[in-house]
Amino acid sequence: MKAVIQRVKNASVTVVSGEGRAGAGGIDRGLLVYLGVARGDTEEDAKRLAEKIAFLRIFEDGEGKMNLSVQDAGGGVLVVSQFTLLADARKGRRPYYGNAADGETAQALYEYFMDRIRKTGLVCESGVFQAHMEVAYINDGPVTILLDSKEW
């Protein structure tokens, strides 16, 4: 499971379809998390990653040091599914997405991940799984961190 975490001043996601545009989720200060689910990922991967993100100390304290978690800072989390994080573009010019989990498995783990975020006491908003979305945000810092559940 891979995640791109961005510290944001605000973030929102809008679903775009042939029928128009509709807001799906949004937060004020907090974390925007792009989440990619790989083949072989499990609920344990989702649980560990959710806990890592919920308690990651990347918000500044009163002395300007990154010493606070999103929870300590009173922020929320916006999670957007993004299978393209699993792209393999080492060969050729067209990325290979065969490392991404199938849709049914990915959606179940995406929802489980968000449930685990909520169990830490955080507000967790989301996009719409497998929808075409537009994401708007103001990156704060900027602070952007990449995590892979298989690397720790």
Residues identified as active-site: 82-84
Q: How far apart are the C-alpha atoms of 120 and 132, rounded to whole Å?
A: 29
Instruction: Name the burial class of residue 9, with classes exposed (0-12), middle (13-18) and buried (19+) by CB atoms within 10 angstroms of its CB.
Output: middle
Structure tokens at 115: 């449930």
Q: Which of 65, 38, 66, 33 is nearest to 52 (CA)?
A: 33
The CA angle 104-106-110, to the nearest 5 degrees, is 120
Q: Which residues are 16's β-sheet partners?
A: 21
Instruction: Name the burial class of residue 125, with classes exposed (0-12), middle (13-18) and buried (19+) by CB atoms within 10 angstroms of its CB.
Output: buried
* Amino acid, single-letter form, for residue 107: Q
CA dihedral 121, 47, 81, 137 (to 10 degrees): 40
